[in-house]
Chain A
Amino acid sequence: MRTVWTLAKKDLLLLVRDRFGMFWVLVFPLLQATFFGAIFSGQGRGAGQISIAVVDEDRSEESRGLIERLKKSKSLTVFESNRESAATDVRRGKRVAYVAIRKGFGESSRIFMPASAELEVGIDPSRQAEAGYLQGLLMEASFGGIQQTFANPQKMQAQIRKSAEEVAAADDIPASQKAIFQFFFGAMEQFVTKLDPELFKQGAAIAPAKIESVAVRREGRSPRSSFEITFPAAMLWGVIGCTAGFAVSLVTERKSGTLLRLRVAPLTRRDVLAGKAVACCAACVGIIVLLIVLGRLVFGVRVDRPGMLAIAAMCTALCFVGLSMFISVLGRSEQGVAGASWALLLICAMLGGGMVPLIAMPGWMLRMSSVSPVKWGVYALEGAIWRDFSPAEMAMPCAILLAVGAVLFSLGVAINRRIDR
């Protein structure tokens, strides 16, 4: 085992020192995940925007004003919706949250009303950072409404008159109290007519809207962001880069004479091939781990099931080790194997979700993609990241990956033996 690890370390070091190879293994997949992730998520319109659905159940002038102010916020992307669709979108991860403007919001927004205007925010409890940020933005928007009211004397007068009428019509207020109120409203109306509206444009210390949070748990069967789609695909591109690199490296060793030197050394043929396989497997797993860490740190990609991810990554790596061994015998020269590997792997990637995400594939294409090991790799990784696979669900893609890997590895080893005979 020590010998195998010595051989594997050598190959890993050679891979790291090959800048061109590292481009295809790490840089290209990362660029792809970032580029397509940004495009799919609308990141191009402005970094850091929170996508929310707004449900206007009040349909008042005040609720309309709030929606307009929210739409003007540079930090939000606002989609108007009904309550059911909004909650579904949040559950499926299409929107970060929904904001429901409850019935009575307009009434409660009036000055001198005892209750605060009510807003309902539906958001996954795990998204505490976004929830806090959104609450701040809603406060800002609701303050804006109150500011506008004070800055508009006519509107204020209308609201005071409406309040006075409601007090006059109320049955549960004693006549003596009604007189006091009417006196107050009259004085207030006088006050408002003489007030300089410019003073209130600077801000006013009046009670804000009351925001109630509602837990809307994401269902786990849909990605939270487009990066959770592009990163599994990028991991497979990294694995493909490793596969092609190791397939060519075996031919390079044969052509340069180093394979002869390895075979002359006191090693078995099994040791030499195992060294290559371990190195390829470690490189594939390493690139998956590296991309998931970068995805987490930079793009907020989260893994629902880390244990499952480890299994998926290992099965994917083992499958592509087999593919690498098989590809290494598809040509006798480095150029031949490099050409054959990229031709074969590109077809696998095109069919298997490396270019068109599995989630976006039409039914016929999804069925066709089953012939590609890339599809099962992406599927298994997505299963751990956002598809929330149970062990039983994870078993199928992993079993397929292992079976394909075993068959191709055996074929590759057998043909390799014939070439060297």
Chain B
Amino acid sequence: MIRVCGLRKRYGSLVAVDGVDFEVARGETFGLLGPNGAGKTTTIHMLVGVLAPDGGTVRIDGDGDPMRAAVRRRIGVAPQALALYDDFSANENLRFFGQLYGLTGASLRDAISHALHITGLEARRHDYVKTYSGGMKRRLNLAVAVMHRPDILLLDEPTVGVDPQSRNHLFENIEALSAEGCTVLYTTHYMEEAERLCDRVAIMDHGRILALDTVDALIDAHGGSSVVEAELERPPSEGVAVPGRLNGTSLRVDTARPFETVAQLAGSGLQLRTCVVRRPDLESVFLNLTGRSLRDA
């Protein structure tokens, strides 16, 4: 559905996107995971034809060039910034943007009602956006993006500054759209969101894609070993063999077979107060690929 080949964009001496290649299949939810400044938003802007790439190509559904208005009509975008008119109500925002996509009359009214329904904003539809909470604005931002029923939905950091309740609501909306067959491209720097929503994830940093695969495959390939962390009742006696690193009563064991390690600890005569198994995640993947934590990058 989306094919990106050798995409490049430079601002002066800064290379924002440096030879990015990926493909997104129809109905797939694809994640671009990377820290701020990784080049995710610039990539999105080139995907929708707002920015002209310095090199490479973007093709939508075969040979569609997003620079053409007819191709963009099939795309919905929820920008990172809350792209809404604060002095308009939700209804007025949706009406205005719907009209730009050629919706009129009954089809426009239906689209507005549907968008308000799926984002749970019906009760506040006539209130000015400036009176909304951050979470409600995010939901309306999504509503505007989906109201014309696009084939492709581009979501650029859609949960920034959103409370947990609104975040869950947004996730449910995105999962529902995906279930309806909508192709979703989702950028985020929250690994939990990518893990929950995305079929495949591209890890991006400094304008380049470092790895691209399913979440499980990425973890298997780049996540490293699991960690078993245990807290002992008392320090082990002299001569008792303890796996891993011991610091007072805290024990940490890096292992490829965490459950075998837990069983071994239980049978070793050590008295455990707590025991936690930590599987590697996308954070570990990013750490192993870049040498930096995703949150610190």
Contact = CB atoms under 8 A, between A and B. Distances in A.
A260 B79 CA distance: 8
Q: A-B pairs with the 10 shortest C-beta distances?
A: A257-B81, A257-B83, A266-B69, A261-B83, A266-B73, A265-B100, A17-B87, A257-B79, A264-B77, A6-B99
Nearest to B11: A421
Contacts of A6: 96, 99-100
Which of A260, A262, A265, A267 counts the most chain B CB atoms within 10 A?
A265
B227 interface: no
Contacts of A7: 100
A332 to B, nearest CB: 14
A20 to B, nearest CB: 12
A78 to B, nearest CB: 54
A266 B83 contact: no
A277 to B, nearest CB: 17
B241 to A, nearest CB: 60
B94 interface: no
Interface size class of B (residues with CB under 8 A): 20 to 34
B81 A264 contact: no
Contacts of A155: none
15 contacts: A6-B96, A10-B96, A13-B92, A17-B87, A256-B82, A260-B81, A261-B77, A261-B79, A261-B97, A264-B72, A265-B97, A266-B101, A267-B69, A267-B100, A268-B69
A263 interface: yes
Contacts of A18: 87
B48 interface: yes
Contacts of B100: 3, 6-7, 262, 265-267
Nearest to B144: A261
Interface string B66-94: 00011011010101111111011000100
B97 A256 contact: no
Interface of B: 45, 48-52, 69-70, 72-73, 75, 77, 79-85, 87-88, 92, 96-97, 99-102, 144
The DSSP consensus for interface residues of chain B is loop
Which of B51, B80, B84, B99 counts the most chain A CB atoms within 10 A?
B99
Contacts of B81: 255-257, 260
Contacts of A414: none
Interface string A251-281: 0000111101111111110000000000000
Contacts of B97: 261, 265
A168 interface: no
Contacts, number: 66
A266 B103 CA distance: 12
A421 B97 CA distance: 23
Nearest to A9: B96
A416 B70 CA distance: 24
B87 A265 contact: no
B48 A264 contact: yes
B101 A421 contact: no
Nearest to A11: B85
A337 B154 CA distance: 31
A14 interface: yes
A263 B45 CA distance: 10
Contacts of A266: 69-70, 72-73, 100-102
B87 A257 contact: no
A16 to B, nearest CB: 9
Nearest to A254: B81
A41 to B, nearest CB: 39
B79 A14 contact: no
A260 B50 contact: yes
A258 B72 contact: no
Contacts of B83: 256-258, 260-261
B82 A257 contact: yes
Contacts of B99: 3, 6
Contacts of A257: 79-83
Interface in A294-348: none
A2 B43 CA distance: 31
A265 B48 CA distance: 9
Nearest to A260: B79
A203 B225 CA distance: 119
B87 A258 contact: no
B75 A264 contact: yes
A102 B88 CA distance: 70
Which of A14, A260, A262, A420 counts the most chain B CB atoms within 10 A?
A260
Nearest to B96: A10
Nearest to A10: B96
Contacts of A10: 85, 88, 96
A83 to B, nearest CB: 62
Given A13-B92, A257-B79, A257-B83, 11 more contacts: A3-B99, A14-B85, A256-B82, A258-B84, A260-B79, A261-B77, A261-B79, A261-B144, A264-B49, A265-B101, A266-B101
A260 B78 CA distance: 10
A133 B124 CA distance: 60
Contacts of B52: 421
B69 A14 contact: no
